[in-house]
Structure 1
Amino acid sequence: MDFAGTVVAIGDGVTGFAIGDEVYGCAGGLMDLPGALAEYFKADARLIAHKPKTLSIREAAALPLVGITAGAVRRIRTSLSLPRKTRTYPEQS
C-alpha cells in the first residue's frame, strides 16, 4: 500500500524523521509487511522518505509502487542485451 502523511510519533532508534514531517512510502506489500488503510499506522522507517515540497500529499501517495516498478523495469532492461529497434521513416518530398 502506498501512502503519504504526517509523522505523529517516532519509534526508538529511528533517525532522520521528526514529528510533523510530511512523508510518503510503502506500508505493505514489501518485505512480507501487511498493508494498511487506516488514519494512523506504524510504518517501517526504511520504507518511507520525506515528501518533496513540490508535491501534494495526494501526488506523493501515488508514487511509491510506481517508482519501485519503474526502477525494477529499468534494472531488468539494462541487464538484458536486447538489440534496440531503430525506426526508419520514409523521406518526405
Structure 2
Amino acid sequence: MTARIYKPARNAMQSGKAKNEWFLEFLRETRPSADPLMGWTSGDTSTQVKLRFDTREEAEDYAKRNGIAYMVQPETPARMQKKSYSDNFKFGRKDNWTH
C-alpha cells in the first residue's frame, strides 16, 4: 500500500495563510471492478481514507511507524500578485471601469 503526503492548495475563496495542514492519502493500486450481482463498482476502500496532520514530519513519522510506503508531493510556492487600488482609476486602462 502506497500513500501520498501533500499540502492541498487553497481554493479560490480563501485569502488567508492560516491553513497549514498536511494530508496522507492512500493511492489506488487496483482497478475498480463491477460487482457481478448488483453491478456496483467495488474496489479498495483504503482510498477513501484521508488522514490530517499539522506538519509534514508528523505525516512521515506516521507512515514510517506503520510501515507504509509513501511519497511526498512538494509544496507549491504561493504566488503574490502585485495589486494597487489606484490602478482601478488609472487613465488609459485597458479594461472597462465597472464601478
One fold, TM greater than 0.5? Answer: no
Q: Which has the larger radius of gyration?
A: 2
Higher relative contact order (CA 8 A, sep 6+): 2
- Which structure is higher in strand share? 2
- Which structure is higher in helix share? 1
